[in-house]
Amino acid sequence: MKSWWIYWRTALKSDDICISGLLLKDEPMSRHTSLKVGGAAAVYAMPADQNDLLQLMEQLAAQQIPWLVIGKGYNLLVQDGGFKGAIISLEKLDKVELSDKNMLLAEAGAENLAVVRFAQSYGLGGISFISGIPGSMGGAVKMNAGAYGQSLLQHAVTVTLLENGVVREYDMAELDYGYRYFNLPADSLILTAKLKLVPVEPAIVEQEIQKDKELRQQKHCVGYPCAGSFFKNPPQQAAWKLIDAAGMRGARHGGAMVSELHSNFIVNSGNATAKDILELADKVKQAVLATSGVLLEEEVQVVGVES
């Protein structure tokens, strides 16, 4: 397999990196995020497999280069000044397999729908609610993705992490997680998740998938690049209702807009910058705080530096 290498001199104090997968220098993150905004990553790496990832992480650690792992680029906003380190895509780490009875093991790069479909082919279900959530398992685990009163980590038995070069499998009782969050140990990344499923007729799973698809098309097909729900729902409340009550549906700032269809979506209506989106988000937060006394918290992960 061809090895990709890169050599550059920057403030990162880096010499070289070599992996079997894809490796790019100064790669615009607008090409790799659903919002279609963001400055360049000093390095954009896509390891070919888990061994390639381990080698990459060793090199980054040896050269003290900061890193960030992404999946499909959903739920992510990279600021206009870019990321002064390595952005790592786990897109190629996408294996899904049965481990034990009613147990499924999925790598972080496996797409959510592909995992549901794999389980369906073996007469298993219980996680159809993630079928319409765009992205991959690593992101779904990290955000404890969910819908309709369920969340992914309710179905997890173990999560395997890479921590400082060491692969370790954790039982869920050892980990801190809750509504829309998973408190990862420092300097760790998600490799796999083992899920406990239940027997479900494939036809029933198909009905659940199609129902979820229809609902999301009705509510979430906003017609512009977006990152999904921008704010978390406060306890016992819906963020979109608070935003509506603050009169912010349809509000604009530069190329950013609060969606007319779903007011918890901030979209790139054309040529938006990350700064446009962040400044509009702040206006939304201040308006909601003034009208409802609630300070919204971002669900979208914001990384990088200002331009």
The most confident of 152-156, 185-189, 219-223, by mean pLDDT: 152-156
Query: How many C-beta atoms surround the C-beta of residue 147 within 10 A?
Result: 16
> In angstroms, rounded to a whole number, what is the distance separating the alpha carbons of residues 16 and 7?
5
Binned at pLDDT 50, 70 and 90, residue 72 comes out as confident
Three-class HEC string of the chain: CCCEEEECCCCCCCCEEEECCEEEEEEEHHHCCCCCCCCEEEEEEECCCHHHHHHHHHHHHHCCCCEEEECCCCCEEECCCCEEEEEEECCCCCCEEECCCCEEEEECCCEHHHHHHHHHHCCEECCHHHCCCCCEHHHHHHCCCEECCEEHHHHEEEEEEEECCEEEEEEHHHCEEECCEEECCCCEEEEEEEEECEECCHHHHHHHHHHHHHHHHHHHCCCCCECCCCECCCCCCCHHHHHHHCCCCCCEECCEEECCCCCCCEEECCCCCHHHHHHHHHHHHHHHHHHHCCCCCECCEEECCCC
Query: 2-6, 139-143, 199-203: which has the minimum mean pLDDT?
Result: 2-6
**What is the chain's mean pLDDT, rounded?**
91
Residue 126, Cβ density class (10 Å: 0-12 exposed, 13-18 middle, ≥19 buried) = buried
Catalytic position from the list 107, 111, 208, 299:
299
**Cβ–Cβ under 8 Å, residues 46 and 92:** yes
Binned at pLDDT 50, 70 and 90, residue 220 comes out as low
Q: Is the pLDDT of residue 8 over 50?
A: no
Task: Report the pLDDT value the prediction gives residue 180, as an integer from 0 to 100.
Answer: 81
Among residues of the chain, what percentage have pLDDT more than 90?
79
Whether 229 is a known active-site residue: answer yes
Q: Is the pLDDT of residue 2 over 70?
A: no
**Cβ–Cβ under 8 Å, residues 266 and 209:** no
- Centroid of chain to Cα 175: 19
More confident residue, 273 or 221: 273
Q: Is the pLDDT of residue 5 over 90?
A: no
Binned at pLDDT 50, 70 and 90, residue 71 comes out as confident
Task: Report the pLDDT value the prediction gives residue 216, as an integer from 0 to 100.
Answer: 72
**Distances from the Cα of 295 to the Cαs of 69, 177, 244, 285, 288, in angstroms?**
28, 21, 15, 6, 7
* pLDDT tens by residue, 232-259: 999 999 999 999 999 999 999 999 999 9
Structural domains in the chain, sorted by start: 4-89 (3.30.43.10), 96-219 (3.30.465.10), 222-303 (3.90.78.10)
Q: What angle do CA 57, 168, 183 make, to 5 degrees?
A: 85
Q: Residues 21-41: what's their mean pLDDT?
A: 96
Please name which of 233, 259, 232, 235 lies closest in space to residue 248, comparing C-alpha atoms: 259
Q: Is the pLDDT of residue 130 over 50?
A: yes
Catalytic position from the list 117, 168, 180, 216:
180
Catalytic position from the list 14, 89, 229, 269:
229
Q: Is the pLDDT of residue 127 over 90?
A: yes
Residue 13, Cβ density class (10 Å: 0-12 exposed, 13-18 middle, ≥19 buried) = exposed
**Cβ–Cβ under 8 Å, residues 267 and 34:** no
Task: Report the pLDDT value the prediction gives residue 218, as an integer from 0 to 100.
Answer: 67
Task: Report the pLDDT value the prediction gives residue 186, as an integer from 0 to 100.
Answer: 79
Whether 180 is a known active-site residue: answer yes
Q: Is the pLDDT of residue 275 over 60?
A: yes
Binned at pLDDT 50, 70 and 90, residue 14 comes out as very low
**Distances from the Cα of 244 to the Cαs of 45, 237, 251, 255, 284, in angstroms?**
40, 12, 10, 20, 10
Q: Is the pLDDT of residue 77 over 80?
A: yes
* pLDDT tens by residue, 184-218: 887 899 999 999 999 999 999 999 999 888 877 76
Task: Report the pLDDT value the prediction gives residue 232, as an integer from 0 to 100.
Answer: 93
Q: Is the pLDDT of residue 9 over 50?
A: no
Task: Report the pLDDT value the prediction gives residue 219, as an integer from 0 to 100.
Answer: 66
Binned at pLDDT 50, 70 and 90, residue 3 comes out as very low
Task: Report the pLDDT value the prediction gives residue 147, as an integer from 0 to 100.
Answer: 80
More confident residue, 184 or 52: 52
